Structure 1
Amino acid sequence: MRHTRIRTRQRESHTDSYVRRIPLGFLKGILASNKVETTEYEPLKVEAQNFLNLLHDPDALELVEDLLIWKDEPNEIFDIIENIVAMRSRDFFLESEKDEINELYGFCAGIACDNRITLGEVETLISRLDSYSKIRDDRRVLNLRNAARRSIADGRITPEESDDICSWITHLVGDSATDTGIATFGNVGVLEGALDDHNDIVFDNRMFVLTGKFTLGPRKAIQGMILDRGGEFKNSVCRNTHYLCVAAEASRDWRHSHEGLKIMRAIELRKEGQGPNLVHEGTLAHALSR
């Protein structure tokens, strides 16, 4: 029996430690059902590959290899992941609120990665959500918690209830592979209240703020297109910001894995009735193409 080797690092940057919280949470989500389903293999491979690309971690490469070697042995894969989680948990400590929330987001993505939620996963999810007081007022978290509690009222999870919980998890952590339903690290969660119609975006004398890593091109190029259409831009969200444009891909510098400080500030201002309009990258791209 070969288990993935875990390498302990003597020194690690704050950013690397921050990024590692999400994969660890994701793996804990995989373990929440006390078994690994073959339908979770592909999401596991995607997550490990993303981890490898971000940090060039040889352990992630070994996990990808193990998924091929033990493709017909889900119990073996479970043991390997359990070993990784045990070792990583000893190496990394939850030092702040950010670490806790990042791990929670990873956990949510992990339990939903096969688009199926079990009773055990829901019970563990509720327990974890109840322990995070800092985000209890987040409407997405509240909706997810309520859906989870409703689903276990009769002691079982129906396919419809499973789909409902997966949908609310996608609202919280995003879904970076909509064609396969695989929720992975690095994607932006659903922004409630975001503009759906690109025709609602007005450029002339309007203030824009950009956040995240845009697939449209470099941020300066996008700012140039906004200026060409009569708009203005700033680097921070304030009361005179008209639009906060959010990239499809999260930035590694964001406070939480799926939510940056600009987004958090915009949501605070919107609650006060004076916040900017939220705009997804796709909507902005359509508006710029007019």
Structure 2
Amino acid sequence: MGDKKIILNEETGQPIVAAICSARIAERNIDELIGLCKGIMADGSIVQAEADFLLKWMESNQSAAHQWPANILYSRIEGYLSDGILDDSEKEELFTLLKQITGGNNITDMVQSMATTLPLDTPPPIIEFEKRIFCLTGAFTVGSRDKVTKLIESKGGKCVKAPTLSTDYLVIGIIGSRDWIHSTHGRKIETAMEWRDTGEVQISIVSEEHWIKFV
């Protein structure tokens, strides 16, 4: 048998076949993770030992841990267990997140609903942080509002509690956005939408999913 020709990716220098295999492994791992999450949720609650297990599993399967939505779960559990204790409120939040990831309130479906129902910028803009002003609304899958604020500040941005004439971005958290989809958009969104659509202020309205790509 003759030698097989190895085709390299021009950008990474890695064999394309290896890249394809890696992607397939990551996809299988994501499927396995979703199965694990469903098993943990079966009794309607979550205990710390189960959260510890999920974190260790993702640490052992890095190809999956850094893909959506596992990267969100990884970050959240890592934060919850940073003090060694999973308290009751964290258990409740984690169970809700597992439900969204496994299809109870699927994150991808929620993002698609946001894209069609909420007044997000189309196409979504490039997110810059240095000396940019952000306003946050809703609850975020990556963590608490305080954590999101610190992420923005660490990259040179600033957060304000309500949109102002100098605000550059309004970021809508995925969790909790269903309230706006099925009722009103919320005051922050309505204000930003009015300013943007009248051209009064150059403010961009983006989803958490888009924002996190630049973090």
Task: State the TM bucket, normalised to the shorter chain.
Answer: 0.3 to 0.5
TM-score of the two chains, using structure 2 as the length reference: 0.43
In the superposition, the TM-score normalised over structure 1's length comes to 0.32
